[in-house]
Every structure is written in C-alpha cells, then in structure tokens.
C-alpha cells in the first residue's frame, strides 16, 4: 500500500469519527521509542467509531491492534496496513456489580489497578507494575509480582473483522503463561474481571509498595519494553542472561540493563534493529551455554526493510 492507495483508503473511511493519520512514526508511540512508520494509524473516539471503522475497512487491509506500545518492538521499516490504537478513545471503566469490573482495552493497566483499589476490590494490584494497556495485558496474559491477568478474567469482549461485537466466556478461551489463543480475526475491546470485595485493607499502600520494589529492581527511568524474555520453566530468564554476561552488553544505542539482565534499554539513539540484534545475541548465548532457547515476551512486528513498489501489505512478522 503506497501513497495513492493510502489516499484512496483515507477517502473510503471519511465520516468515521476519530483521528486517522498517514505514515505515522511509531517511535512516538512505543515505550522503546523506536520503530518505523505505520501506513495508517487510527485512534477511535469510542467503541462505536471503532465498529464503524471495521465495517468500512476493506478486507485486504491488514489490521494491527495497538495499546500503549509497551512489550512491543516495531521494526524500522514500520507496519503496513492499519494500526488501531485503543489508548485514549477506549478508556471506560465501569462497576458491574459488587465484585466485577468492566474495562475497555485502552485503559492503562496501572489506572485500572488504582481504580480497583479505591473501590476496595482486591486482586488487581499487580496491574500497577504492568506499563501497558489492559487490552494488551489480556491479550498476552501479562503478569507481575506473582499475579496474572487471566486469573481475574470472567469474559472478554472482542470485535471481529466484520464489525461484530462478540463476547467469550473464560472457559471458551485457551490461555497459559504469557500466551492467549484468541479467536481468529477477533481483537479485544474490553473485558470483565472478578475480584474480591474487601474492607479495612489499604490496597493503595500495597500498590505503592509494589511500585517501590519495581523501581529498585528494574530500569524504570530508561526507555524499555519490560521483560524481554519469558521465564523458562523452573528458572528465570534474568538469571540465565546474567550468567552468560549479558548485563551491559550493547549494540548501537541499545544495551542490556546493568540493573536487570532481562531488560534492554534504549540509551537514546537505538534502532529497532539494534534491539532485535541484542535479543538474538541473548538467545544464542543462553542456548549455547545452557541448552535453553529463551522465548521473547516482547512481540516483534513490522518489516526491517523498506516497502517496495508492487509489494503486498503482509506485515511480515517473522
């Protein structure tokens, strides 16, 4: 998809509420502060405008769902097709009953944690340590401080390619550690969680303590995307990376944090290629030493090479 096709698509989508941008630099939206351009970048005003987009979007245009841009590496040549950003436009939180909360995908995980704490609902405090959106946490079963997202889920709300809203109970979805199998061509727009109503416990204080712990052990002041690798069974990725000497190792403007070996930081001039090279180096080093193949927790999307005339618009996520 190139400029003429972009203009055609933008014309096709006229009348849809929200913000629709062409060639939007993704380094403005990712926590690593790297990434090429999105051919089209859409921020809905609400769920209704998002439904309208999906109803009018041509079926041959690839769609990439996007929240706060954490836990994500966008390659330097960017993302073909349509990037849908749920942050800001999809940020409603609603009390369903005494123990259940509905939150839309664009709500910041930390905001949801604080909302639940204020309402005396225990069990979501760990979300304060997840720097992404709630939708992203649901999509990957994000976790921190011993908690994980799908332990709270009752049901999820999805939008399919034809613009239909579909609800799925927890029992209908297969999930595991840092992985969720969502129904094909369905994207998360919200979810309902069930917590424990509790009195007399300062949940806000618990959140502050968790964040203090996080600040001591993780490079929160540097541009990063959270934990780079999933923990292998009965071990920790950070321990393995430290054992093979990854702390402080750098490529270009990217570096394995000296504070936490499972974090790669952007020192200010990193490219996505620098970061991806370090990811591969960490994998290779650990596998050679321990025979363990670390699996990335961060999602790597987009293309590393510029688009060519006549080329299709497959995102090429491999």
Instruction: Give the catalytic positions in this structure.
Output: 178, 227, 297
Q: Beta partners for 43?
A: 19
DSSP letters of 53-122? HHHHS-TTS-EEEESSS-SEEE-TT-EEEEEEE-TTTS--EEE-SSSEEEEETTSBHHHHHHHHHHTTEE
- Nearest 5 degrees, angle CA 167-CA 69-CA 106? 35
Return the closest-CA partner of residue 70 out of 183, 245, 218, 280.
218
Separation of alpha carbons 224 and 217, rounded Å = 14
Residue 303: strand, helix, or coil: coil
Question: Which DSSP symbol is given to 309?
Answer: T
Whether 116 contacts 195, CB under 8 Å: yes
Give the integer Cα–Cα distance in Å for 242 and 254: 17
Three-state secondary structure call for residue 78: coil
Structure tokens at 28: 């403005």
What is the spatial distance between Cα 304 and Cα 12, in angstroms, rounded to a whole number? 29
Radius of gyration of the chain (CA): 20
Contact indicator for 90, 189 with CB cutoff of 8 Å: yes
Residue whose structure tokens are 């939007």: 24
Which H or E run contains 206?
A: helix 203-217
């Amino acid at each position: 998809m190139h400029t003429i096709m972009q203009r055609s698509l933008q014309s096709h989508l006229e009348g849809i509420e929200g913000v629709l941008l062409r060639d939007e630099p993704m380094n403005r939206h990712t926590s690593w502060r790297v990434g090429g351009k999105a051919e089209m970048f859409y921020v809905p005003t609400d769920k209704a405008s998002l439904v309208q987009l999906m109803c009018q979007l041509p079926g041959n245009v690839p769609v990439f769902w996007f929240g706060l841009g954490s836990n994500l590496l966008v390659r330097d040549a960017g993302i073909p097709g349509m990037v849908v950003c749920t942050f800001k436009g999809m940020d409603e939180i609603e009390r369903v009953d005494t123990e259940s909360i509905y939150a839309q995908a664009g709500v910041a995980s930390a905001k949801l944690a604080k909302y639940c704490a204020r309402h005396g609902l225990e069990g979501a405090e760990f979300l304060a340590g997840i720097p992404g959106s709630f939708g992203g946490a649901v999509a990957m079963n994000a976790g921190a401080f011993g908690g994980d997202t799908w332990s709270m889920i009752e049901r999820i709300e999805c939008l399919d390619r034809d613009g239909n809203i579909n609800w799925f109970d927890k029992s209908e979805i297969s999930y595991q550690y840092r992985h969720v199998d969502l129904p094909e061509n369905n994207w998360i727009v919200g979810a309902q969680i069930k917590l424990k109503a509790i009195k007399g416990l300062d949940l806000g204080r618990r959140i502050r303590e968790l964040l203090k712990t996080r600040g001591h052990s993780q490079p929160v002041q540097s541009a990063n995307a959270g934990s780079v690798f999933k923990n292998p069974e009965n071990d920790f990725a950070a321990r393995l990376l430290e054992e093979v000497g990854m702390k402080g190792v750098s490529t270009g403007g990217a570096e394995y944090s000296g504070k936490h070996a499972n974090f790669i930081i952007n020192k200010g001039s990193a490219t996505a290629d620098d970061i991806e090279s370090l990811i591969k180096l960490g994998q290779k080093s650990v596998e050679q030493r321990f025979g363990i193949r670390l699996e990335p927790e961060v999602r790597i999307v987009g293309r590393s090479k510029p688009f060519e005339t006549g080329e299709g618009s497959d995102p090429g996520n491999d």
